[in-house]
């Protein structure tokens, strides 16, 4: 029988009020991994109440010395590093990605706690000049109770990307992982207890968006929502938060351009472009799914990209020879296959479509092989909508002005990649492209020390680095009359 998991509320593992559970499955086989508590509104209320008590009652926040907060975060980082192999395996089983990729995720998650533990003792304010007869102090204080809702493509990494800065700022947290991939969030909860976090500081509620996520967003005891996921859900969350004017950070979708100029080093640009769309099964919000190639090298780049797609080995992420795992669910596989069908139907030229693994043990898995289309039109659905799978659309261009117009012809603005040996051209294109992250001669690095977030409908606010810490702080001015 599969393991059964509870909710983490107020430092204790508890059953859901309604007694309901749901299954989480191995996407490589379709087999059940575990039975997980299905939280509802009553459970969310218990978790928010615990977080509120911890924040208002002095167990965390302004009443706790910054060094003490830092020590707890460093302790949590140490535990993540201790359990890196176990957590990586759990992540691969739950979301499908190759084990080596999952291991990197866990190690970076540990670094995030180390990074923000350092920031906990360095939150400072300002003393603006207001004249000789008064003193104005601008201090930074934690926002309060934060609802953190994370996606299924980087389950542990995205959870830590929100939890670490929130705790460093002095906030208390209710974490809601995606229902498809809850296991490493629950493991993080167990480690938080071992690290000595006071009860109520980190609560973990598992369940669906409507049953658990929406009550968290609308709860009057929550001061801020930080969400990573689809644009449609982000828009819904923003509407719900408007009633209470909750603080909101939204990291949403993308349709990122990957621009290859003729003077690029193709030995770097081609595999980098492939990584940008095939890495993590294409389940990446910043995936370089729109590939623009200067016409004089178009055939070379297209051929190289097809070769990279052919070299992909599909299978279980636990197999060390596998370079691409399954998509996260049957629903996601159907969605991506629907887009591939639309591409064919609307006239995109199919340059390459791989095949699913034929091993009997993987027959129930949610595999979609790498697929490469080429087109001259940006009006096709596959060139406009986020697919969130290993599907590339390759488009030729003739000059810088044309390609930056095409790159910006989207409602999204999360990321972009530019490949060229000409540094002047690189900076001109980087300035012209409307995106929150622009890579030059690289694809997909997201250092925890730097800003992450998008323009336009790719979201609101920034995460990572000091920018991610600011998202969990409020500014307060204290004005003192001296005369």
Catalytic residues: 251, 285
- Quick check: 44 and 149 in contact, CB under 8 A? no
Q: What is the dihedral of CA 292, 445, 365, 352, to 10 degrees?
A: 20
Burial label for 468, CB within 10 Å (0-12, 13-18, 19+), is buried
In this structure, what are the phi and psi dihedrals at residue 42, rounded to the nearest 5 degrees? -65, -40
Whole-number Å distance between alpha carbons of 184 and 179: 12
DSSP state of 450: S
Angle at which helices 99-119 and 66-82 pack, to 10 degrees? 170
**Distance, C-alpha 151 to centroid of its chain:** 6
- Quick check: 439 and 415 in contact, CB under 8 A? yes
Angle at which helices 155-169 and 66-82 pack, to 10 degrees? 160
**Distance, C-alpha 108 to centroid of its chain:** 13
- Quick check: 413 and 456 in contact, CB under 8 A? yes
In this structure, what are the phi and psi dihedrals at residue 339, rounded to the nearest 5 degrees? -65, -40
- Quick check: 383 and 395 in contact, CB under 8 A? yes
């Amino acid at each position: 029988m599969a393991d059964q998991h509870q909710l983490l509320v107020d430092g204790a593992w508890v059953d859901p009020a309604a007694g309901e559970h749901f299954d989480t499955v191995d996407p490589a086989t379709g087999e059940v991994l575990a039975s997980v508590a299905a939280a509802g509104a009553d459970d969310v209320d218990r978790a928010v109440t615990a977080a509120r008590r911890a924040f208002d009652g002095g167990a965390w926040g302004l009443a706790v010395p910054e060094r003490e907060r830092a020590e707890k975060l460093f302790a949590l980082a140490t535990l993540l590093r201790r359990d890196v192999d176990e957590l990586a395996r759990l992540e691969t089983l739950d979301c499908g990605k190759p084990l080596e990729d999952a291991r990197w995720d866990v190690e970076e998650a540990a670094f995030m706690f180390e990074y923000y533990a350092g920031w906990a003792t360095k939150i400072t304010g300002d003393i603006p000049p207001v004249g000789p007869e008064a003193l104005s102090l601008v201090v930074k204080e934690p926002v309060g109770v934060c609802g953190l809702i994370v996606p299924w493509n980087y389950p542990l990494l995205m959870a830590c990307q929100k939890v670490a800065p929130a705790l460093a700022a002095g906030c208390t947290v209710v974490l809601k992982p995606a229902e498809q991939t809850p296991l490493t969030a629950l493991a993080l909860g167990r480690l938080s207890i071992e690290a000595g976090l006071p009860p109520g500081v980190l609560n973990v509620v598992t369940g669906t968006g409507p049953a658990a996520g929406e009550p968290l967003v609308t709860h009057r005891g929550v001061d801020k929502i930080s969400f990573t996921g689809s644009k449609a859900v982000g828009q819904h969350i923003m509407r719900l938060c408007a009633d209470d004017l909750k603080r909101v950070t939204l990291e949403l979708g993308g349709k990122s351009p990957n621009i290859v100029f003729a003077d690029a080093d193709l030995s770097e640009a081609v595999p980098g472009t492939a990584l940008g769309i095939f890495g993590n099964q294409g389940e990446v919000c910043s995936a370089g799914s729109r590939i623009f190639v200067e016409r004089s090298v178009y055939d070379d780049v297209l051929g190289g990209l097809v070769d990279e797609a052919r070299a992909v080995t599909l299978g279980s992420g636990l197999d060390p020879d596998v370079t691409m795992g399954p998509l996260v669910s049957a629903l996601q596989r159907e969605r991506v296959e629907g887009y591939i069908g639309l591409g064919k139907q609307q006239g995109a030229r199919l340059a390459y479509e791989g095949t699913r693994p034929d091993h009997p043990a993987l027959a129930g898995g949610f595999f979609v092989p790498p697929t490469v289309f080429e087109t001259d039109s940006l009006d096709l659905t596959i060139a406009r909508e986020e697919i969130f799978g290993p599907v590339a659309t390759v488009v030729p261009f003739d000059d810088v002005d044309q390609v930056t117009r095409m790159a910006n012809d989207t409602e999204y603005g999360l990321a972009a990649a530019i490949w060229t040996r000409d540094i002047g051209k690189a900076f001109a294109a980087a300035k012209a492209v409307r995106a929150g992250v622009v890579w030059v001669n690289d694809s997909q690095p997201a250092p925890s020390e730097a800003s992450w977030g998008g323009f336009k409908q790719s979201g609101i606010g920034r995460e990572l680095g000091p920018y991610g810490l600011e998202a969990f702080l409020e500014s307060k001015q204290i004005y003192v009359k001296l005369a």
